[in-house]
Amino acid sequence: MEREYLPQHAVLEEKLQYSFSNKQYLLLAFTHSTYSYEHRKMGIVSNQRLEFLGDAILDFIIGEEIYNRKPQWDEGKLSKTRALVVCEKTLAEVANQLQVGQLLLLGKGEESTGGREKPSTLADTMESMFAAIYLDGGFENAKRVILLLLNSYVDLAVKGELVFDYKSRLLEKAQTKHASHQVLFEVVNEEGPVHDHIFEVAVLIDGQEIVRAKGRSKKQAEQDASKQALEIWKP
């Protein structure tokens, strides 16, 4: 049984600047294990094998890029920097930019528990997609797309500026040699059922609300709010 190629897939290909010759590779990359299990009698397989291959391809391409940019770095520094670029958080962030979640084929249970927005699922799907491009168009096309999507993260990582613990960074920014600012995180709203709960958190600095952000957990909302606050708050 072949999965259906939709207009949304064509939009994604435009963003990737890559058009699949064999569209089934692209559709396979979005097939979650829960969907394949529910359709196993129809011969549907999941993207798990693609994920395995894509992980290796991604590690190599980003590792090579950092290796070439920083010939003076030792193995430890290279490994730590690559880990920042290929981590779940980075890949999930790129997946959200591409609206990958809306294209996922999920089982009913996974769908009902917010599977389309799970960072681990989004990151795994990105790795599967990289492998799909490699199998469809070869190594150079896979490399071109990976660097197109992740080059800005590599830039930040090699400069030591790729940070995902935005809350800690905000708290550090608030405590300087010359001044100490009070930073508070306040849950201002909660909505949705238990399986799809949304928290809205406000960041208050010295009693003044700076920004608000929403997330599926208080931790996520705090991180997203902290990231925004770092961008706009000037102590």
Determine the pLDDT at residue 27: 96
Determine the pLDDT at residue 196: 72
What is 166-232's CATH topology? Answer: Double Stranded RNA Binding Domain (3.30.160)
DSSP β-bridge partners for residue 214: 200
Residues of the chain with CATH 1.10.1520.10: 7-158
Cα separation values, 74 from 44, 82, 154, 157, 162, Å? 44, 12, 17, 15, 19
Residue 165 known to be catalytic: no
Give the residue among 158, 166, 157, 98 at the shortest CA–CA distance from 126: 98
Residue 55 known to be catalytic: yes
Distance CA 218, CA 226 (A): 12
Answer for the pair 62, 19: CB distance below 8 angstroms, yes or no.
no
Catalytic position from the list 65, 110, 127, 222: 127
Q: How open is the CA angle 203-206-209, to the nearest 5 degrees? A: 35
Residues of the chain with CATH 3.30.160.20: 166-232
Determine the pLDDT at residue 175: 86
pLDDT in tens, the chain (235 residues): 457 888 999 999 999 999 999 999 999 999 999 999 999 999 999 999 999 999 999 999 999 999 999 999 999 999 989 998 999 989 999 999 999 999 999 999 998 888 898 999 999 999 999 999 999 999 999 999 999 999 999 999 998 878 767 888 888 888 876 778 999 999 999 998 876 788 999 999 999 999 999 987 888 889 889 989 999 998 8
Give the residue among 100, 111, 120 at the shortest CA–CA distance from 48: 120
Q: The domain 7-158 belongs to what CATH superfamily?
A: Ribonuclease III domain (1.10.1520.10)
Q: Which long-range contacts (CB under 8 A, 24 or more apart) does 181-189 make?
A: 181/205, 181/206, 181/235, 182/206, 182/207, 185/222, 185/225, 187/218, 187/221, 188/212
Determine the pLDDT at residue 2: 55
Determine the pLDDT at residue 1: 44
Determine the pLDDT at residue 215: 85
Catalytic position from the list 55, 110, 124, 136: 55
